[in-house]
Amino acid sequence: MKTRLIIIAFLFTQIFYSQIKIQEDNLTVEYAKTKKASQVIGVVTNVRTDSKEIVQYNVKVRIEMIDNKKRSFDPNKFSLIDYQNKKRLRPLSVAYTNLTDKWHFIKLIKNKPKYKSLEKRYKPDVKDTFLDYEFEGITNLIIPIQYEAYDEYKISFKNPETEECHESYFEPKDLRKRNINLYFPMPISAESATLYYGYIKIADIRFK
């Protein structure tokens, strides 16, 4: 019985991490795990990286509002810093999944689009808080995302769709508590990184 209790306690410490309090946003962040992300669109992430120099990782965290009330949560404050290459990266996709549901934070674009199909993603009144945080000696690495684009009222059968490239961020969403999946692009040479929420360190991560 004693041996069994020791094993259970060991497993418990391996799975769960301490909650980090974010006083300014009245919430806690708990790091869970990191793994390589599937590149099958629609299964978990909705952004695929084709470059052989980039690996996409799924970083899972749990968010809980301290007062247990549902309110706006801003995922743009999350970043991974690769100190080896002195780069700070933002998520390409943010989502939660469970047995019956899958939901992605809506991606917004920085510049006014040329095509009507992307107009709903352009909301300049929504602030990109990723840019509020700077780390000495670290450069923000921004990776634009390609969106399928078309004019809803002028679809050409010769060229039914095209692509438009945009720097992107996320629209905040109301939640009370939720497991969140953050999908980060990382250089294939990266051996480790540190997860931050704003300036607050959440966890050191090693890539296998």
**Residue 43's domain spans which residues?**
19-206
Specify if 122 maps to a domain.
yes
> Do 44 and 60 form a contact (C-beta atoms < 8 A)?
no
DSSP string, 40-61: -TTTS-S-----TTEEEEEEEE
Specify if 129 maps to a domain.
yes
Specify if 155 maps to a domain.
yes
Specify if 11 maps to a domain.
no
The residue type of 208 is: K
| Per-residue model confidence as pLDDT tens digits over 165-179 | 899 999 999 999 999
Specify if 97 maps to a domain.
yes
Tell me what pLDDT residue 100 has.
56
Length of the chain equals 208
Closest residue by Cα to residue 192 from 85, 91, 93, 58: 85
Specify if 119 maps to a domain.
yes
Specify if 9 maps to a domain.
no
- Rounded CA-CA distance 56/49 in Å is 7
Tell me what pLDDT residue 164 has.
83
Displacement of CA 64 from its chain's centroid (Å): 17
| Per-residue model confidence as pLDDT tens digits over 57-112 | 999 999 999 999 999 999 999 999 999 999 999 999 999 876 556 689 999 999 99
In eight-state DSSP terms, residue 2 is: H
As a whole-number percent, the residues of the chain with pLDDT over 70 amount to 77
* pTM as predicted: 0.82
Specify if 27 maps to a domain.
yes
In eight-state DSSP terms, residue 18 is: P
Q: Encoding tokens for residue 190?
A: 């990266």
Q: Are strands 139-141 and 107-109 parallel, antiparallel or unpaired?
A: unpaired
> Span 140-164, mean pLDDT?
68
How many structural domains does the chain have? Answer: 1
- Rounded CA-CA distance 62/29 in Å is 6
| Per-residue model confidence as pLDDT tens digits over 187-205 | 888 899 999 999 999 999 9
In eight-state DSSP terms, residue 6 is: H
